[in-house]
């Protein structure tokens, strides 16, 4: 496989570093919607884990001679818009977003990371490791649905809206960053490869919705 251009690596680390910073923000904000102190502390811990990841990514950017703030800057508007347009209005919507939205994003970044040289491939895979969202969110959402079946329909709609927004934002980001687009096309080999990548991401998403007890 040909080496990606250095700019693409900085782009990917930059977008991920900013994604972790916004994930922190969002989890910190959603923590305030928690119905219990225990739930609030759980979300705050997840937010702190995102910052640990953010720090590892910015440290690596500095190592590569890049300015972290400059590497993140091109992606702030797309990610901010995504979060603004999918602001949870309830504790459960926040959890579905943390699980389904972050899961989808992590799958996508993981696919791209496979095309990176070491040590960046491993770094990206490590920072994408689940920070405890998964179990916690699944447990809370499933329990809530059992207690009130009507929630399932509403949360399933919310999950679908999240995916729609995520896909349109990702397409916009890739279209604006030739390095990232090249990385994906070269990495997957051809358009059929891109198709298979999208299929893998979509089927993992369907599985997550099912795990939550929601109709994909």
User: By the criterion CB under 8 A, which residues form the site for its own copies?
Assistant: 18, 21, 24-25, 28-29, 31-32, 36-38, 40-41, 44-45, 47-48, 51-52, 54-55, 58, 68-69, 72-73, 76
Give the integer Cα–Cα distance in Å for 165 and 171: 10
Q: Shortest Cβ distance from residue 51 to its own copies (Å)? A: 4
Q: Shortest Cβ distance from residue 79 to its own copies (Å)? A: 12
Choice between 29 and 182, CB closer to its own copies:
29
Q: Shortest Cβ distance from residue 45 to its own copies (Å)? A: 6
Q: What angle do CA 144, 145, 151 make, to 5 degrees?
A: 105
Residue in the structure block whose two tokens are 């059992």: 146
Q: Shortest Cβ distance from residue 104 to its own copies (Å)? A: 23
Choice between 13 and 163, CB closer to its own copies:
13
Choice between 21 and 137, CB closer to its own copies:
21
Q: Residue 100: count other Cβ atoms within 10 Å of its Cβ.
A: 26
Give the integer Cα–Cα distance in Å for 39 and 31: 7
Choice between 47 and 95, CB closer to its own copies:
47
Choice between 26 and 205, CB closer to its own copies:
26
Q: Shortest Cβ distance from residue 30 to its own copies (Å)? A: 11
Give the integer Cα–Cα distance in Å for 36 and 144: 14
**Nearest residue to 58 (alpha-carbon basis) of 99, 105, 10:** 10
Give the integer Cα–Cα distance in Å for 114 and 35: 39
What DSSP string describes 72-106? HHHHHHHHHHHHHHT--SSHHHHHHIIIIIHHHHH
């Amino acid at each position: 496989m040909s080496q990606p251009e250095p700019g693409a690596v900085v782009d990917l680390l930059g977008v991920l570093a900013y994604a972790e910073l916004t994930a922190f923000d969002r989890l910190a904000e959603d923590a305030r919607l928690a119905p219990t102190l225990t739930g609030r502390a759980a979300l705050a811990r997840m937010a702190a884990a995102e910052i640990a990841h953010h720090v590892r990514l910015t440290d690596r950017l500095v190592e590569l001679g890049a300015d972290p703030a400059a590497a993140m800057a091109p992606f702030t508007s797309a990610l901010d818009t995504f979060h603004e347009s999918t602001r949870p209005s309830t504790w459960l919507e926040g959890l579905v977003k943390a699980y389904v939205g972050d899961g989808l994003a992590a799958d996508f970044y993981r696919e791209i990371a496979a095309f990176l040289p070491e040590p960046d491939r491993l770094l990206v895979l490590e920072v994408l490791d689940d920070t405890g969202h998964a179990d916690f969110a699944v447990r809370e959402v499933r329990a809530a649905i059992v207690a009130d079946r009507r929630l399932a329909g509403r949360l399933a709609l919310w999950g679908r809206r999240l995916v729609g927004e995520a896909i349109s934002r990702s397409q916009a980001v890739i279209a604006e960053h030739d390095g990232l687009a090249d990385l994906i096309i070269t990495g997957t080999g051809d358009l059929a490869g891109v198709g298979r990548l999208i299929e893998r991401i979509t089927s993992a998403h369907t599985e997550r919705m099912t795990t939550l007890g929601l109709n994909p």
